[in-house]
Amino acid sequence: MPSPDEASRLLQLALDARRRGDALLHLQIDIAHLTGQASSWGSAENRMQRDDHVGYFLSEVEKLGWRLEHTGYAFVESGATTSSRIWGTGEGVVNHGGIEAFFTFRAM
């Protein structure tokens, strides 16, 4: 679920669009983060932090009179950390970034 402030902002956008009579609503939400640290051996220690409450938020949007029509996802890289491997066999890479979800709703 987005942060409380972000959820309020997005729900207000949905409400405003509904009041204007918009036929479609498009929302972009950050739903997961890829983080990690380089290990002393030079390997990658990536971890995915997921948001398991996105469905709850989408249900709140639908309560405002919208029906989910389409969903898309993209990984947005924000950087990477590299470290040399201890035996000189290259580098370990830890990517950082977020998974953005794109939700398109149609007015009911």
19 band by pLDDT with thresholds 50, 70 and 90:
very high
> What is the tally of structural domains in the chain?
1
pLDDT of residue 35: 73
Please report, for residues 13, 15, 35, 56, the alpha-carbon distance to residue 94 in angstroms, rounded to integers and kept in the order given.
36, 40, 7, 31
User: What whole-number distance in Å separates Cα of residue 3 and Cα of residue 82?
Assistant: 30
pLDDT of residue 44: 56
- Report the predicted TM-score, pTM, of the whole model to 2 decimal places: 0.76
For residue 27, the domain's CATH number is 3.30.110
User: What whole-number distance in Å separates Cα of residue 20 and Cα of residue 98?
Assistant: 32
36 band by pLDDT with thresholds 50, 70 and 90:
low
User: Domain residues for 40?
Assistant: 4-107
Mean pLDDT over the full length of the chain: 84
pLDDT digits (tens, 9 = 90+) for 70-103: 999 999 988 777 666 566 566 667 777 889 999 9
